[in-house]
Amino acid sequence: MIIPKKESDRIEFKPALNNAVFEIMPGGLAVTVYGIADMKTDLKINDIDNIILHLINENSQISITDIAKKIERGLTATKERISKLKAKGLIERVGADKGGYWKIKNK
């Protein structure tokens, strides 16, 4: 897993999240999503959220339990972060908890 270490690092999730640019900012991550007619929406998320998005991008079938282990957080805290990512419209769960998958969404 590659995680940016400094502000100047820039990562893009082109295959799963078209038209989005992730940039490391002081205190978190800025996500710019370009949509129809180049409308853009800026969303700020922190480093842990960035890691969750990266894990989902690597393995869309990853479980919340596995995410919690990889980010070294409790299950409840991980569920809360995932709920916030869902509320921001960045991810969604498709299908059941078992057999389903995570989808990184375009806004």
For the stretch 68-93, pLDDT in tens is: 999 999 999 999 999 999 988 899 99
What was the pLDDT predicted at 23? 76
| Residue 63 domain boundaries | 10-104
- Indicate whether this model's pTM tops 0.85: no
Residue with tokens 């800026």: 42
What was the pLDDT predicted at 36? 42
Long-range contacts of 9-18 (CB under 8 A, 24+ apart): 11/54, 13/53, 13/54, 13/57, 13/104, 15/57, 16/57, 16/60, 16/104, 17/57, 17/104, 17/105, 17/106, 18/106
What was the pLDDT predicted at 25? 73
CATH number at residue 57: 1.10.10.10
Q: Give me the number of domains the chain comprises.
A: 1
**68 belongs to a structural domain:** yes
**1 belongs to a structural domain:** no
- pLDDT tens digits, residue range 13-47? 444 455 667 777 777 777 776 554 433 344 556 88
